[in-house]
Amino acid sequence: MRVLVISTFVIFSVCTKVNGQGKGKEEEFQCPSATGTGNFADPVTCRRFYQCVDGYPYQNRCPSGLYFDDISKFCTFKNEARCGPVPSTPAPATEPPTELAEKCNTAECQLPYCFCSKDGTLIPGDLQPEKTPQMVLLTFDGAVNLNNYDHYKKVLNGKRKNPNGCNIKGTFFISHEYSNYQMIQRLASEGNEIATETISLQSGLQDKGYEEWVGEMVGMREILKHFANVSKSEVVGMRAPFLKPGRNTQYKVMEEFGYIYDSSVGVPALPIPVWPYTLDYKIPHECKSGTCPTKSFPGIWEVPLNAHYVEGFEGGHCPYLDQCVLHNHDPEDVFEWLQEDFLRYYDQNRAPYMMAFHTNWFSIKELEKGLHKFLDWVTTLDDVWFVTTTQALTWMTDPKEANQMNNYEPWSCSKKDNLPPSPCNVPNKCALSLKKENFTDTRYLETCSECPNQYPWLGDASGSGIPNKDNYVPDNV
């Protein structure tokens, strides 16, 4: 099964300031005078790195089995790490790119079709924070299967309610390999949102072309239609693998194939969180991945991943919660950490609080117990709502005050028109051949639909067994 990299631009929770105590190479490290702040390679070993803060070096150790990459500035697998120090060279002079998006123009950018602000922190509709409903976005990435389904169901257990009495909801960014489509259909039939990651979760997709993005994104949407009975029109959101957007190419595909939003752009650890915005204008913050769109894509929403952190950066800072280093904490510590992180939103501008997870989080009991304690606490607040990403964007297009939300129809639980039917009780269990580049393997797929001839894959979303069968036509053609 694919192992998710814990890409640790996370700062390890136990840091040692290099202050002259003890002898050796550590105390000789000098932070670069030109920058003074940032992560820098240890000249002795790739297992460590230094975090420089205002010119002071703090020694950090990568988690077990990971090594510091001096180009990307985080810890990763040994075969991917470019050991440093890597000398920096000036970027070559280039012609300025054309058709760049311009900075936000609030006079021209008006709801419901466009939303931006100078630094991304302003509340839609110019609402006061205390009159703004605090939205929480539970998002889950990757395959859904026996490794995580029961954990997800304990979060979305039907007992935790929004202030209007409806069950709390989440958004699932689905990748294909190892997914159980009966389980996905169950989650969708209960009102959770299903969005796409990609079919293969291949690394390096950010550098691929238009056809590769179509095959991965639109193909994943087709697989969901065939095997989970999720209508194509209901799959309107996207997240790029490893939070590495595909520059302008990915967003061109979204524009042409009817996607409404992306949620792949990471935001640095800023004091005030950033609200979602449309891509009519330039992104109002630093692009952590370096692969964000540079052109204008009018009407396409970006739902960014604000960095999670607490004062003093205990546990580090991270877009996915399982990337912060909290595994030495007990459940009460985890609860208090999440509570402090959440209150930065709730006490300031009430930007949507996105809790993004991989399965990794739920493999550590202390983290899971701390999460449940946090969820039980936050659902007691009468102006906090757990909504899907699309529900959050619906509110943003026409903002309403918190005291109006109990009767807000888009967040009610009475409408079930577009939900897939409840899945079968006994799914078909299909053992199927998967042909990759240089080998053939067996994959197992569970679905209420008939078993396909072959494991669905790139170019053959229906599993017909005919290579390169798929030919997707943009919605606007």
pLDDT at 427 over 60: yes
Label residue 25 by pLDDT band (50, 70, 90). Answer: very low
What is the predicted pLDDT for the residue at 53?
Answer: 63
Cβ atoms 258, 299 nearer than 8 A: no
What is the three-class DSSP state of 57?
strand
pLDDT band with cut points at 50, 70 and 90 for residue 2: very low
Lowest mean pLDDT of 196-200, 216-220, 284-288, 449-453, name the range: 284-288
Q: What is the pLDDT of residue 98?
A: 59
Decide if pLDDT at 4 tops 60: no
**Nearest residue to 29 via CA among 43, 39, 15:** 43
Domain chopping of the chain, boundaries: 16-77, 124-411
The residue among 71, 86, 63 whose CA lies nearest residue 5 is 63
Q: Determine the straight-line distance between the first and last CA of the chain, rounded to whole angstroms.
A: 38
- Is it true that domain 124-411 has CATH number 3.20.20.80? no
Reported confidence tier of residue 414, pLDDT bands at 50, 70, 90:
confident
**SS3 string of 162-197?**
CCCCCECCEEEEECCCCCCHHHHHHHHHCCCEEEEC
The pTM assigned to this predicted structure is 0.81
Q: What is the pLDDT of residue 418?
A: 79
d(CA 401, CA 35): 44
Model confidence over 280-324: pLDDT tens digits? 999 999 998 999 999 999 999 999 999 999 999 999 999 999 999
pLDDT for position 70? 84
pLDDT for position 54? 61
What pLDDT was estimated at residue 90? Answer: 47
* 16-77 and 124-411 share one fold: no
Candidate from 74-88, 221-235, 330-344 with smallest mean pLDDT: 74-88
Reported confidence tier of residue 108, pLDDT bands at 50, 70, 90:
very high
Three-class SS of 307-320: CECCHHHCCCCECC
Query: Are the beta carbons of 337 and 326 closer than 8 angstroms?
Result: yes
Contacts 24+ apart (CB under 8 A), 410-415: 411/162, 411/164, 411/166, 411/385, 411/387, 412/164, 412/166, 413/164, 413/165, 413/166, 413/167, 413/191
- Distance (Å) of CA 117 to CA 47, 56, 136, 251, 360: 41, 34, 21, 21, 35
pLDDT of residue 257: 96
Q: Which position has the higher pLDDT, 76 or 168?
A: 168
Q: How far apart are CA 237 and CA 194, in angstroms?
A: 8
Q: pLDDT band at residue 11, thresholds of 50, 70 and 90?
A: very low
Burial of 274 (0-12, 13-18, 19+ CB in 10 A): buried
Between residues 41 and 55, the one the model is more confident about? 41
Report percent pLDDT > 70 for the chain: 88
When the pLDDT of each residue in the chain is averaged and rounded to a whole number, the result is 88
Least confident of 48-57, 137-146, 329-338: 48-57
- Residue 148 in contact with residue 118, Cβ under 8 Å? no
- Domain 16-77 fold is Antimicrobial Protein, Tachycitin; Chain A (2.170.140)
For the chain, helix, strand, coil in percent to 5 are 25, 20, 55
